[in-house]
Amino acid sequence: MLKKVLKGLGIFLLLTVIALAAVPFLFKDKIKALVLKSINENIDATASFADVDLSLLKNFPNASVTIDQLGIINKAPFEGDTLFYSGELNVQMSIKELFKGENEAMVLKSFSSKNTVANIIFNKDGIGNFDIALKDDKPEEESESAPFNLSIQNYELENFRLVYWDQASNMKMVLDSLNHVGKGDFAAQKLDLDTKTTTKLSFEMEGNNYMKNVALSLDAVLGIDLENSKYEFKENKALINQLPLEFDGFIQIVEDGQLYKLDFKTPTSDFKNFLGLIPEAYAGNINQVKTTGEFKVSGKVDGKLSDNTVPKFNIELASNNASFQYPDLPKSVKNIVIDTHIVNETGLMNDTYVNLDQLSFAIDQDVFSAKANIRNLTQNPIVAAELKGIINLANVTKAYPVQLDKPLSGILKADVSTKFDMNSVEKSQYQNIQNAGTVSLSGFKYEGPEMAKPFQINQTSITFNPNQIRLNEFDAKTGSSDININGALDNFYGFMFKNQVLKGSFNLTSNRLVVSDFMEPTTTTTTEENKTTTTEAVKIPSFLDCSLTARANTVVYDNLNLKNVTGNLVIKDEAVTLSNLKMDVFGGSIGLTGTVSTKGKQPTFDMDLGLNAVNIAESFTQLEMLQSIAPIANTINGKLNSTIKLSGDLTNDMTPDLATISGDLIGQLLSPSVNTQNSKLLSSLSSNVAFFDASKLNLNDVKAALSFKDGKVALKPTTLKYQDIGIEIGGTHGFDQKMDYNVKFDVPVKYLGNEVNSLIAKLSPADQQKIKSVPVTANLTGSFTSPTVKTDMKQTTTNLTNQIVQMQKNNLINQGTSSITNMISGNTTSSTPKDSTKTTQQSTKEQVEEGVKSTIKNIFGKKN
């Protein structure tokens, strides 16, 4: 009997599970329709979701509805902006709610969301993007019932991101990684809501970042009066980073704003509270820190927040004669005094003021103090500040756990006062800015991953004047480089507070400047599969607008030693403009003007170079770019005057990308000689043309014009001197060293040998003048290291033969058969038979052809 009961119970449970699993398929379309109805009847926006799922098993005995990838996109005036997106939105309800009629509202008990983003935006006209509710003109009694009613008992937000952006005031607040749970009966008009919240807060205004990822947490029981929209703090504990706070009072939403009546304070007065303000990543475990003295935060907020007013408030941060010492560090920070007030006594935002009446501390015998005041906060902030004291930077890491790869060193001294208003800063009205005092730093040494070499400042000092901040000296060294700089900054405050570019003018001198000492190091990325090394592209800062006059005895760039380098640089708009830049190199000098820009994705350059009496072989072998433009130049000994215009892209290490450069070069050779041993091309040309010896070329004062683009160089026809043989060369080659050149020789007939010259001597004087020289062309292909030389010798032979024969023929016709026979055979007989004349003509042509062919063959050394 028992067995039958258990068997029946098992069958019942199985059928129940099957039913619970099957029911969602019956109600899924109904739920989907209700979701669509709820969206379409309530919002004026574009909504979409991937799917809606219903489960009776997930939270039994409640039914669970999951909406995947729900998104709401605004219409005009925020068209295309995302108002809300949730990766997963869950709601729960009683199973019986599924069996309600079509016009009966379903009651929801709880909801949760995962990976959700909400963007709240007010545009410059004060219109909010969240006002998407459809306007219902029907009387309340005629309106259809809502698809869902809320009777929430609990809710949860997981990984929520809220962005609040007021475009009119240029203010943005972000709550990121927000996790929040709440439990309470929202069906009641009054309830206690038990909440737990963690998030990270960022806040910026007018481009200035005031808070970034400040960790906040709040565990609180809130007394909620739904009828009066009143929220009261009951039991609560808050943390700002690690600073504990407790709240007392309430916030109430009224028709024209919110009412605040709040008191808050630190529950203890231990100085650990101050360290708690600092993010844990920088402050470490403050529970182990030994402290004396106290630090208190307290405040009152009382009044209405509306379009025109803010609540009155008074926030105080105070500490007196405090100290702290970390257990693993040898030094302590002592005699700490903090006296700060943030106050608004009128309810008008512009009347808010900040008084830092005193901030001072000591490490060993070094004392540093500061005072500051900020008022007229929203209209035209007025700032007054004083800094005075000495800090031994080496003691900073000995007293506070600063995360540095290498410890700091150096002595910082300051005695500065300043007073200015933001309008004067923005309009560069320096006469309204009051500055006085000096700041100096000596013996400073820093070493870090962003520096190619350790950086050492021997001495630097800055004087604050009413109109500018003057850099009196900056004596520094890094690697084997030394630099000395002085000059002035014109708008330091505009740069600091208004995101303006930093303007100034400076003088730089150096005995030795090695460019690689300042280049960012390579970045190595290691994976399980491979190991790659990349070089970060050098970027010219966009915030600089300054000029620099430079002089260096030696500048080492790559493998070049540049001497007596002088010039002017203007840095602006992520570019450097060079003018009158001169340097001694390759036994001569180079002048340079142009621009280097890193504004785009790829760095670019546009330069004009003037080479004056530089050593040809050195410059065209040590500079890869010149070597690619004129690879034959390494065979030439001598000097060169040249102008070069070129532009193109730069690689990440700021060297020209040869595949992208274009421009032209005009050069004149001075007292050059040719070394054919360095060139397979010239050696091959000399061996293929018997009368030509490249080493004897006269290149003095030869002028050549090159143009280059897309990796190809074109040489305009250029005349060369070789004894009394005319030579013209022109053609193209690529940066891959492949070439296609033609060398045209104008060869005087005297080089054609005795046989040809004796034949030509027998021509009339007029005909001899017509054959002074023979044109021969050599075609150079292949590459500079593996050249192919071909000549048009065969065609030249044919042309010369035909020319002499034609002249002989004309003479025979003009002078008669006997004269022709006498000229060839030396026979003075005055009569010759007709047939004999014809035979003699043929014989003459054959003799001429054979003589020319033989001579050409000997001259050019090849059968052709």
The Cα 269–Cα 257 span in angstroms is 34
**pLDDT of the residue at 163:** 92
Across 644-658, b (16+ Cβ under 10 Å) vs e yields bebbbebebbbebbb
Total tally of structural domains belonging to the chain: 2
pLDDT of res. 137: 56
User: Do 703 and 573 belong to one domain?
Assistant: yes
- Is the domain of 695 the same as that of 759? no
Residue 52 lies in a domain: no
The terminus-to-terminus CA distance of the chain in angstroms comes to: 120
Same domain, 701 and 788: no
Instruction: Locate all alpha helices (DSSP H) within 600-747, ordered by sequence.
Output: 616-622, 624-629, 680-688
pTM of structure: 0.64
Cis before residue 748, ω within 30 degrees of 0? Answer: no
Half-sphere exposure of 653 (CA within 13 A, CB side): 12
CA 578/CA 597 separation, integer angstroms = 11
Q: Which of 492, 521, 517 is nearest to 504 (CA)?
A: 492
Q: What is the pLDDT of residue 552?
A: 93
**Rounded Cα distance, 845 and 331, in Å:** 112
For residue 790, is it left (φ>0), alpha (ψ between -120 and 50) or beta? beta
Reference 807, options 856, 759, 758; nearest CA is 759
d(CA 77, CA 389): 54
Question: What is the average pLDDT value for the chain, to the nearest integer?
Answer: 81
* Cα torsion 408, 411, 417, 418: sign: negative
677 and 790 part of one domain: no
759 and 679 co-located in one domain: no
**In sequence order, which ranges of 608-729 are alpha helices (DSSP H)?**
616-622, 624-629, 680-688
pLDDT < 70 positions in the chain: 1-38, 40-41, 56-60, 95-106, 135-151, 208, 448-450, 519-538, 690, 752-753, 755, 812-864
Amino acid letter, residue 112: S
Q: Is residue 769 part of a domain?
A: yes
Q: How far is residue 440's CA from residue 470's CA, in Å, rounded to a whole number?
A: 12
Domain boundary among 717, 750, 776: 717
Q: Are residues 685 and 574 in the same domain?
A: yes
| 3-state DSSP assignment of residue 5 | helix
How confident is the model at residue 102, as a pLDDT? 59
In a domain, 754, yes or no: yes
Tell me, yes or no, whether 381 lies in a domain: no
Please choose, from the candidates 634, 635, 623, the residue with its C-alpha nearest in 3D space to the C-alpha of residue 661.
623
Q: How many CA atoms lie within 13 A of 168 on its CB side?
A: 7
Report the pLDDT value the prediction gives residue 847, as an integer from 0 to 100.
Answer: 57
> Residue 32 and residue 53: Cα distance in Å, rounded?
8
pLDDT of the residue at 20: 39
Q: Cis (ω within 30 of 0) for the bond into 61?
A: yes
On whether residue 114 sits in a domain, the answer given is no
Of 238, 117, 220, which Cα lies nearest the Cα of 174?
117
**Domain assignment of residue 168, yes or no:** no
Q: Classify residue 822: in a domain, yes or no.
A: yes
Residues 568 and 701 in one domain: yes
CA 574 to chain centre: 10
Shared domain for 749 and 861, answered yes or no, is: yes
Does residue 766 sit in the same domain as residue 628? no
Q: How far is CA 229 from CA 250, 254, 766, in A?
A: 11, 8, 122
- With respect to residue 616, please indicate whether it lies within any of the assigned structural domains: yes
Instruction: Determine the residue type at 31.
Output: I
Q: Residue 289 in contact with residue 324, Cβ under 8 Å?
A: yes
Q: Which of 659, 684, 717 finishes a domain? A: 717
| Calpha distance 780→786 (Å, rounded) | 10
pLDDT number for residue 524: 44
Q: Are residue 808 and residue 679 in the same domain, yes or no?
A: no
Residue-number span of the structural domain to which 663 is assigned = 535-717
For position 171, what pLDDT does the model report?
84
Residues 646 and 754 in one domain: no
* Domain co-membership, 701 together with 753: no
Neighbours of 575 (CB within 10 A): 19
Nearest to 591 by CA among 576, 575, 577, 607: 607
